[in-house]
Amino acid sequence: MDEFTEYIASLDGAERDAVEHVRARALELVPDAEEGMSYGMAALRYRDSPLVSAHASAKHIGLYPFSPPAVEALAPDLAGFSTSKGTIRFTPDHPVPDDVLDRLILFRRDEIDAMRSR
C-alpha cells in the first residue's frame, strides 16, 4: 500500500511539497523504507518499525521521527523550531534544514538497526 503517497496527494500546494520533501529525503537515505501506517499516521517504516512521518495541520507541519531521543539529540540544531517529546513543528516557509533532516532520519535508522540487532 502507498499510504504516505496517498496522504501527500491529498494535500495542496506548499504543504504537499514540504511533506513530499520529507518523504523523498527519507527514501533517498533509507531506500529499504516502506510506506505504511504508524500511530494512526501515514509513515515510512523500516525493518517493521516506524521511521518518519510528516503531517500537515492548520498552522504547521509536524515531523515525527517516532523517537524522543532523536529529537533530544538534535535539539541544538532545532533552535527556532517548536519541539516536544517526539515532534518537530515547521512550516513550508521555515523548513527543517536538509542537513538536520538527514541527521534525524539517519539517527532513527541507526536506532532501529541497533534495536533489531539485539
- Its pTM surpasses 0.85: yes
Percentage above 70 pLDDT, the chain: 99
Domains of the chain plus CATH, in order, are: 3-116 (3.90.1150.200)
Over residues 39-75, the pLDDT tens digits come to 889 999 999 999 999 999 999 999 999 999 999 999 9
Residue of 85, 26, 72, 74 lying closest to 50 (CA atoms) = 26
Query: What grid cell was written down for 36?
Result: 505504511
pLDDT band at 1 (very low <50, low <70, confident <90, very high): low
Contact 17, 92 (CB under 8 A): yes
